[in-house]
Structure 1
Amino acid sequence: MRLLLLGGTEFVGRAVAEAALERGWEVTVFHRGTHAAPSGARVLHGDRTAEGGLAALAEGEWDAVVDTWSAAPSVVRDSARLLADRVGRYAYVSSRSVYAYPSPAGADESAPLVEGSPDDGERPYPESKRGGELAVLDAFGDRALLIRAGLIVGRYENIGRLPWWLNRIARGGPVLAPGPRELGVQFIDVRDLAEWTLDAVAAGLGGPYDLVGPRGHSTMGELLEACAAVTGSDAELRWTAPEAIAAAGIEPWIPLPFWVPPGELYDTVHGADVSKALAAGLRCRPAAETVADTWAWLRSIGGVAPHRGDRPTVGLDPELEAKALAG
């Protein structure tokens, strides 16, 4: 297979590129050149947001392209139109954020969607991803694969969710553990997303697929206890009820990565029905394996994970955590 990665040097794109190279595929990485491309990939440089920035893609044919763009949909539109006659399939890594809020527990690919346009400039994240989907559909039709990912974690994570929990628990001492302990959480190891994506384009799949671990795959307890085990920490996980967390003025999600209390937001974030992807071969490794491998990677780069400048900094302020624990 001849694979073109639009990006391919940071998180999701890098995982896809590495997985394709391991399969012996011919991989071309098109990027701005601010990060090193995976060893073995052919490299093309260009800035998709600049006039003439796609010039390096004016020639060439590929069996598939994988695109992880998450900003202006018009950028996806221009790439898709340029490649439509020279690429077999276009896999766009979208997001479950394209579903209209709130999504009920058990929602699947048939749930209502937000509005979007392939011609939009910068828009809020859900509308940008939906516009990107429409851009790919306009250019590729049934050759478009829409990968509506949930929470993605693992090696190279540049959002900081799992790295924050690992570093916080590694520091030890009392840790505010948002409960209930048995609360299920849905996420996917970036390597599992990458392998499924490659299998899907090789099989000629098209249309939308929700891609995240199945409901019940892991819990907050399993996740944080795995962090404690792999770091060898003496941390004391103090499981705290959602009501007490709210009373302490702590918001869900960004201050406490992965976690949202039971309710409307929880059903939207952690209630996806991924039966379609499972039927199409999705396999998710145990949470403990993802945690262990992420910790090994984090240690290998000095403990400080990279961070995308267009995303908020995650994690709980130490003073607020201490105040809540003293509660």
Structure 2
Amino acid sequence: MSTIDISVVICVYTEDRWEDILAAVSSVRAQSRPALETLLVVDHNQTLLDRLSKEYKETRQVRVLANAGPRGLSAGRNTGIAASRGEVIAFLDDDAVAERDWLHHFAEAYTDPRVMAVGGRTFPIWASGRRPAWFPEEFDWVVGCTYKGLPPGRVQVRNVLGGNASFRRSAFDVAGGFATGIGRDGDKRPLGCEETELCIRLTRAQPDAILLIDDRAVIHHRVPEVREHFAYFRTRTYAEGLSKALVARSVGADKGLESERRYTTRVLPAGVARGLRDALLARPGGAGRAGAIVAGVVTAAGGYVLGSVRARRGGATFSVVEIAESPGREGAAA
């Protein structure tokens, strides 16, 4: 069994997810392979910080701390990295629960010293109880979940997906932390791609680094009712296009859009064909799924074009953060 210590970072920002946060922490504490610690990083919400500090004041394995950087998910993750003590840092969304062997499968992969990041598989928990008939599995990334088109098993990938991911600590020494100004910021426009940009930066800095997805490392992610509607779908795909433009500006279009080319030329056309076939066979939602795929491509492309124009004009910026060791890491293992 691997002796690698794993710290788990959960970034939180709103009391509206109180029960989800408690469930996420409970799922980490129930792991078959115990975490070294769980860090709850609160994003500029003093009321939530005080409430969580009180909730876990008697629990040594759970630490509550404030985001030490600007508002947003990237800075929260960087705060957790700096304060953590594990050789590996895993990230779990605040509205997700991990299956019992989640950390076991992560740890197993890190027995190879070349492995610098490992992600897992994320299943949606739909608020309505089932997937909307029109919602294509190829676009499950819209709701933070594993999408149709990713290869099965334990496979090498360009980037892991941030809500269910882990990194070796030395990855941040090599590449720096998550870039601020590119990812989520509370309830503002749902940007993303901060983990994509970091992973590409990492493999550029360390070309022999291996990044994996192991679909046995499973979490279940809650999808609120508002995200089951086409309006959110359209907003999120547009925001993804904006984010991809920032990534392409940082690392170049060749690397920044490498996986997306295969996705748009192979995975999505096959999805449209399945949707149209289902429509011809009078199966529910077939035409809707085909239409949603086309609409998703168009809105993402529109976001990318606008984001590229803004980037060229200097209107969209982000910065890479170097991870400095914090006082919370005193006594950490070498």
Task: State TM-score, norm by structure 2.
Answer: 0.30
Structure with greater contact order relative to length (CA < 8 Å, sep ≥ 6): 2
Task: State TM-score, norm by structure 1.
Answer: 0.30
